[in-house]
Amino acid sequence: MEGDHIKINKWLLPFSWLYGLVVGLRNELFELNILKTRRFDIPVISVGNITVGGSGKTPHVEYLVRLLKDKMKVAVLSRGYKRKSHGYVLANEDTPMREIGDEPYQMKTKFPDIRVAVDKKRCEGIDRLTSDEETKDTDVILLDDAFQHRYVQPGINILLVDYHRLIIYDKLLPAGRLREPLSGKHRADIVIITKCPKSLNPIDYRVLSKAMELYPFQQLYFTTLEYCDLEPIFNKGKNIPLTEIRGKNILLLAGIASPKQLELDLNSFTGNNALTILSFPDHHAFTAKDINRINETFANMDEPKLIVTTEKDQARLIDVERLSDEVKENIYALPIKVRFMLDKEETFNQKIISYVRKNSRNSILAKREDDHKSKDSHHSGHRPRTISFRDN
């Protein structure tokens, strides 16, 4: 069931209480406006979570990119976790992965026409994106993994919750994997339970919806993973449909935080006894020892065989040395997309598009002109109204 992959280290609970005091104090300082939060005159959408580890942020940011990129100029701003550079970096087609991090590199590779930037200080990153000559015409900024970065007040705050690690069953660090108390979920405008099994039935949705205990203004969605054809990383061969891997021995190479649903889904394509798993930590930098382990594991597997890895791992594997020729000839990346369940995709899409259009800089300028006119004619009884996402 949905809570079965959560391990709580109960002996660490006293440290979790101390951690909770520190995080709670920080949040309270923001609530009291002692620590300042900035709003921007541009649509800003934040996608994040309150747990350590993967909840599907990158596929959901990519979903938003696909939704918006043909209608407006989209920028993605990330911290650039584990990159070797410092400060603000705007990616171009030649920017190496080490300068921006694996996830921004993945997005820039898949969507070369969007702006992808990294900056640990998100406010400064937004200032650069909206003022630098080459990016100042940006229409909307997507913040990747910024739910705890409270110095920015996004127009829409999207919280992702992994179905296999529901936050309602988790504990604060270090006993569990929560970055902040469960009450933090109430800052979200939209909550999405991700990586849901496709077999969920109506009662499951009702139970989960009630258990999340959201406010009436918060909107709850469920998404599941959809897999595309396998794409070769090194060779120039053809893509392989997943329906063609049954009967093959598969080595799953996964350096992601939460690979459980990927394992379950691949098993459905291969058969339960055909999957060998090499798991590494999230954002793992592959060492020479790791490469030898990959080479040896694959060499010892029976034919027919191939390697399946994630797009994020592909970004880190593409430049490593000493991969065997056999591995390079047989390693494929598995692109994933998210699909909204319960036929809620159009509802979600319209919420996002409506917010961006109503809060574009052109709309804000027009609104200011209307407000100015309204002040000049206040005797008419008309009062200006501020549009926010929760009004939609």
Residue 54 known to bind ligand: yes
Return the closest-CA partner of residue 184 out of 79, 52, 28, 39: 28
Compute how many other C-beta atoms are within 10 angstroms of the C-beta atom of residue 182.
16
The reply to whether 57 sits in an annotated binding site is yes
Phi-psi domain of 222 (left: phi exceeds 0; alpha: psi -120 through 50; beta: other): beta
Cβ atoms 103, 142 nearer than 8 A: no
Tell me how far apart the alpha carbons of residues 205 and 313 are, in angstroms, rounded to a whole number: 32
Q: Determine the residue type at 124.
A: E
Positive/negative CA dihedral, 205, 55, 79, 105: negative
118 with 104: CB under 8 angstroms?
yes
Question: Is 289 annotated in some ligand binding site?
Answer: no
Does the annotation place 51 within a ligand binding site? yes
Tell me if 3 is assigned to a ligand binding site. Answer: no
Alpha-carbon gap, residue 30 to 35, rounded angstroms: 5
Q: Is 109 one of the annotated binding-site residues?
A: no
Residue 56 counted as an annotated binding residue: yes
Q: Which residues pair with 148 in a beta bridge?
A: none
Task: Measure CA of the first residue to CA of the last residue in the chain; give whole Å.
Answer: 35
Provide the 8-state DSSP code for 282: T
> Quick check: 56 and 259 in contact, CB under 8 A?
no
Q: Label residues 136-167 b or e (16+ Cβ within 10 Å = b).
A: eebbbbbbbbbbbbbebebbbbbbbbbbbbbb
CA pair distance 173, 21, nearest whole angstrom: 12
Contact (Cβ atoms closer than 8 angstroms) between residue 127 and residue 43: no
**Which residue is it, tokens 């405008």?**
189
Give the residue ranges of the annotated binding site for ATP: 51-58
Give the residue ranges of the annotated binding site: 51-58
